[in-house]
Structure 1
Amino acid sequence: MEGPSESSVPTGIAPSGQVGSSGPLSTTTEYPEPFIINPTTSHTHTIILLHGRGSNGLKFGTEFTTSNTSTGETLQRIFPSTKWIFPTAKKRRAVLFKRMPINQWFDIMDINNQSYREHLQVDGLQETTEFLHSLIEQEIRNGIPVERIVVGGLSQGCASSLYAMLCYKWRLGGYIGMCGWLPFAEYAESFLNTSSSADGIEDDDIFGTSDDEEGTAFTKNEEADGTQERATKDPIAEAIGFLKDNISFPRSQEDKLLVLQTPVFLGHGVLDEKVLFQLGEQARDLLKGLGFNITWKGYSDLGHWYKIPDEIDHIRDFIIDRCSRY
């Protein structure tokens, strides 16, 4: 329902030129006004959800908030004190579509082959991270505690909000992601895997080296120096540090990674042809490796959308059970 712009390379469409060869990637300097549904009672919570590539806040927000649970109620009715914010992405030139401007949080050539021209994602992820953080900070200034603010999104909105959440400094009330992925996940994974590899090397040295193998042991240690040096650092902090460095987002010496305490819901359709189910699993596994407490739902008969009413039920339950002070 997000249209062809979320798909892999369509037949007959090829990119022309290199990124930046015929003008800037972003065609506007300001984000459109978000679609907002105000609470019907005293405002206690805020939920900010980002749409998929090629959509907009009004379309996504209207459809999402009018989707019924199995009891026939909508999330808007169930949570009357919640303010819903559905931002709209800037018009950015999509290299995949001959640099045609579309609403997208960042540019990407092929969702299911992200290593191909992966640099296209960086500028948009940087801007979207700053933009989403500014929306969070505005709600805090409006009097909503950070632990009562939930963020998330669908598809590319999930990818960009997930990246932005990992770069945030405080624990949020919750995160809700649907049919998405985490950009540059494989690089963040490498920091966690390096730590495991170093542990294995150390075990081999302890149990596999006898007194008459000192020369061999020395050689092993020499070869492993680089791996062990990385492993002495906190692999979780280094993984998140990479994500920040990747978009030139400043690290903080006082960063206690409080965001890792944010409860996370991820749902994904097994039949998703646009963002493969395996990419959702990869994001899930990385977040678990970072220490997040994950609620994961896979929907066997679902493609690229959210499951009605099942997933709406699950999101309702997640908000009630896991998000702070609901």
Structure 2
Amino acid sequence: MASSPPLPADSESREVSEKSGTRSYKDPFIVQPSGPHTHTIILLHGRGSNGPKFGKEFITSASSTGKNLSETFPFAKFIFPTAKKRRAVVFKRMPINQWFDLYDINRQGYREHLSVDGLQETTGFIHGLIEQEVQGGIAAERIVMGGLSQGCAASLYSLLCFNERLGGYVGMSGWLPFARHMQDIIEDESEGSSEDDIFARSDDEASESEKESTPDQISKAINFARENISHAPLSSSFTSLPVSKTLVFLGHGALDEKVKCNLGEGAQDVLMSLGFRVTWKKYNDLGHWYSVPDEIDDIERFLEKCLV
């Protein structure tokens, strides 16, 4: 493993303007660019963590070149927000930092309604962060978002509810909330829909997810995601999904016991059914985390395609 370069000297927590409902969140941990600011990367931590803890560790994780992502992309600002403390049902309603509540990560259909309120608020919060960057002069197509574990899940869901193309999406060790519902909608609208469980499919069956969906199928699935969190549905004149032009990277450890790898594969299936171009990477010797330096290398190569 390559040694981690020191955290950039200008890293600090900066106050984010109180717009779009962000005033009740703690200020994010921000790593400012060392050169002219042309791009922004927003990454969400996992359940029980926080922006500074996740951000400081991630931003100092080096690729095989010995550089961290801030050094490789000196023009990018990195934003690591912190989730609100929400009561966790599985922990006897103890407040913890989480983007939304849930009961069992690996039983996605069980008590999944617990996630709705948090996903609604978190989606509005993330969209607000993006809007602040846009108002500051960074176009949406120069903004990348993503996250780790539950941060991946929350940011993936908010991506589907966004109205524009972003520069890219980076997800690690995560899943897509309500993926089963969206895939069922797509399959129910298809001729000869399959009864297979997408979360238990083999690699040989992966080609099934590459079948092109119709605009009607896509709009119904996306409208489920939007209306599920009280977002306005797409118009009836829907012909394409601008956000689906966003390039997506998903990485997952094959040995992940906390968030099973097939949940990441299931997220890939749904996104591809919705027209997204997904780069999927499975790390055979990795559990629940991101791989250093292998996954950092892959993210670096992915960002090189996005940050143009």
TM-score (norm 2): 0.84
Letter in 2 for 1:46: T
CA shift for structure 1 position 233: 7.1
Deviations 1:114-136 (A, max 9, x none): 22211100000000000000000
Counterpart Cα distance in 2 of 1:234 and 1:78 = 41
Q: Does 1:33 align with 2:15?
A: no
Match of 1:109 in 2: 103
Match of 2:11 in 1: none
Distance 1:29 1:46, change over 3 A: closer
Asked if structure 1 preserves the Cα contact closer than 8 Å seen for 2:223 and 2:234, the reply is: no
Asked if structure 1 preserves the Cα contact closer than 8 Å seen for 2:165 and 2:246, the reply is: yes
Distance 1:199 1:64, change over 3 A: closer
Q: Does 1:124 align with 2:106?
A: no
Counterpart Cα distance in 2 of 1:143 and 1:54 = 33
Match of 1:218 in 2: none
Counterpart Cα distance in 2 of 1:105 and 1:199 = 33
Find 1:85's aligned residue among 75, 79, 87. Answer: 79
Match of 1:196 in 2: 190
Find 1:146's aligned residue among 140, 143, 146. Answer: 140
Match of 2:275 in 1: 291
Alpha-carbon RMSD: 1.7
Asked if structure 1 preserves the Cα contact closer than 8 Å seen for 2:219 and 2:234, the reply is: no
Counterpart Cα distance in 2 of 1:114 and 1:196 = 23
Match of 2:206 in 1: none
Q: Give the share of equivalent positions with the same residue, in percent.
A: 61
Q: Does 1:239 align with 2:221?
A: yes
Match of 1:61 in 2: 55
Q: Does 1:248 align with 2:260?
A: no
CA shift for structure 1 position 104: 0.1
CA shift for structure 1 position 160: 0.3
CA shift for structure 1 position 101: 0.4
Higher helix residue share: 1
Deviations 1:121-164 (A, max 9, x none): 00000000000000000000000011000000000000000000
1:158 is paired with a residue whose SS is: helix
**In the TM superposition, what are the counterparts of 1:1-326 in structure 2 within 5 Å?**
30-197=24-191, 234-253=216-235, 256-321=240-305, 323-325=306-308
The structure that has the greater radius of gyration is 1
CA shift for structure 1 position 29: 7.8
Match of 1:223 in 2: none
1:196 is paired with a residue whose SS is: coil
Counterpart Cα distance in 2 of 1:72 and 1:38 = 20
Asked if structure 1 preserves the Cα contact closer than 8 Å seen for 2:165 and 2:245, the reply is: yes
1:197 is paired with a residue whose SS is: coil
1:288 is paired with a residue whose SS is: helix
Counterpart Cα distance in 1 of 2:148 and 2:182 = 22
CA shift for structure 1 position 196: 2.5
Distance 1:252 1:63, change over 3 A: same
Distance 1:145 1:113, change over 3 A: same
Match of 2:205 in 1: none
CA shift for structure 1 position 252: 3.6
Counterpart Cα distance in 1 of 2:223 and 2:273 = 15
Aligned residues: 267
Runs of 4+ in 1 over 4 A off after TM superposition: none
Counterpart Cα distance in 1 of 2:277 and 2:214 = 25
1:150 is paired with a residue whose SS is: strand
